[in-house]
Amino acid sequence: MDRYENSLDKIISLAKRRGFIFQGSELYGGLNGVWDYGPIGSLLKERIKKYWYRKVVMEREDVALIDAGIIMHADVWRASGHVENFYDEMVECSQCKKRYKKDEDLGSECPECGGALTQPRRFNLMFKTHVGALEEQSSVAYLRPETAQAIFIHFKNVLNTSRLKIPFGIAQIGKSFRNEITPRNFIFRSREFEQMEMEYFVAPGEDESWYEYWVQQRLDWYLGMGVKQEYLRLRAHREDELAHYATGCTDVEYYFPFGWKELEGIAKRTDFDLRKHAASANKELSYFDEAKREKYVPYVVETSAGVERTLLTVLTSAYREEEVRGDKRVVLGFSPHVAPIQVAFLPLSKQLKDNCRKLFIDMSARFESAFDARGSIGRRYRRQDEIGTPLCVTYDFDTLQDNAVTIRNRDTMGQIRVALDKLANYIHEELKKF
């Protein structure tokens, strides 16, 4: 499959140049595995999360949203199995002492210096902390390594306070933390990241069909954001790859510049989590099914996506270079569903700034808009191309006479004159065509 040359390096440099992504704690030399999002990157992140929220929660009648704390009681992680099982195998170079996560890409020699690697040791990935003034065993808590557990903890609260009936889902978007041994591939594997997770509760025995349903839904979600179909595939886990709680799992994989990698996991978690928490907390976490006249512990189908991996997917899928009249043009061909800015408003001259700003404020109620009055118009178009803005509206001196503006299309670079009173409708229709 074709891939543009050195694409990851180019994307890292674009991401820095245009204010998408910076190294965490950069002023002090950086903190490995932590990335910060700049003005355009944080908008992109917000739009990806909103698109998930829209498709998984708001456009459905069977999924509710929660927002739980990041620091969670140690007992949650004992019951879920993370204290005991959430380990990676770590190996160390006997010469340079560099540590690596033992995975299939790693041979028996150190990739840095060729020294022999030690036998693997287990390394728990959770960040431990203490709550309160005393650092003792009883004050230990963990930063959550997945958002899913809070959903199980609040299963009954949501059930009792919403009108949901099985089958239904509880969704959450939020930060997760893993002390990864080797964070790498830019933002792909980091120590602090965000997850978009949904646990779908179903009657026992009905999880297989829901699992198949959600695998398809999730694949469609990426296609809906304009990710290239040929760069997406589904991969079912082998028995020996399954997490300790899963009886089946399918990954949505994306063809990153460093190869096919997991983007999202859809898993059958059975009744594992609810049963574990019910036993550990000595509380009942079951459901009375009025239609069936029976009580049971629901089975769960989970969809678990990473915000940053999605962002890297959207960035690499959208990136392209073109030749325009002998010059190189870099374009991010974002879908309007996730483009950080959908329409930029550009006054052609300083004297037109106030009029153009009024138009921008008016339109920003309907579209993700930006106002940019600085630099030559050519440079402004170039900047908008590089941050993936589908449409640019130019306000010029003729506008004062004819009450019309020029709209430029990012992909065709074609320009068309549109009357101000038809502008909102025109933009709305035009955005649908990307």
- Interface residues with ligand GAP (CB under 6 A) are 146, 148, 178, 180, 189-190, 193, 195, 197, 262-265, 302, 304-306, 308-309
> By C-beta, is 190 or 394 nearer to ligand GAP?
190
Cα 15 from Cα 316, distance rounded (Å): 11
- Closest among 346, 325, 363 to 399, alpha carbons compared: 346
> By C-beta, is 237 or 353 nearer to ligand GAP?
237
User: In the bound complex, what is the minimum distance in angstroms from residue 240's beta carbon to ligand GAP?
Assistant: 16
> By C-beta, is 150 or 407 nearer to ligand GAP?
150
What are the φ and ψ backbone dihedral angles of 289, each rounded to 5 degrees? -90, 105
**Nearest residue relative to ligand GAP (C-beta):** 306
User: In the bound complex, what is the minimum distance in angstroms from residue 251's beta carbon to ligand GAP?
Assistant: 7
User: In the bound complex, what is the minimum distance in angstroms from residue 331's beta carbon to ligand GAP?
Assistant: 26
- Closest among 345, 286, 335, 287 to 313, alpha carbons compared: 335
User: In the bound complex, what is the minimum distance in angstroms from residue 224's beta carbon to ligand GAP?
Assistant: 17
User: In the bound complex, what is the minimum distance in angstroms from residue 262's beta carbon to ligand GAP?
Assistant: 5
What are the φ and ψ backbone dihedral angles of 285, each rounded to 5 degrees? -120, 60
> By C-beta, is 180 or 207 nearer to ligand GAP?
180
> By C-beta, is 5 or 104 nearer to ligand GAP?
104
> By C-beta, is 75 or 241 nearer to ligand GAP?
241
> By C-beta, is 231 or 360 nearer to ligand GAP?
231
The neighbour count for residue 421, using CB atoms within 10 Å, is 9
User: In the bound complex, what is the minimum distance in angstroms from residue 91's beta carbon to ligand GAP?
Assistant: 18
What are the φ and ψ backbone dihedral angles of 349, each rounded to 5 degrees? -145, 160
User: In the bound complex, what is the minimum distance in angstroms from residue 265's beta carbon to ligand GAP?
Assistant: 4
User: In the bound complex, what is the minimum distance in angstroms from residue 175's beta carbon to ligand GAP?
Assistant: 11
User: In the bound complex, what is the minimum distance in angstroms from residue 52's beta carbon to ligand GAP?
Assistant: 12
> By C-beta, is 190 or 270 nearer to ligand GAP?
190
> By C-beta, is 148 or 391 nearer to ligand GAP?
148
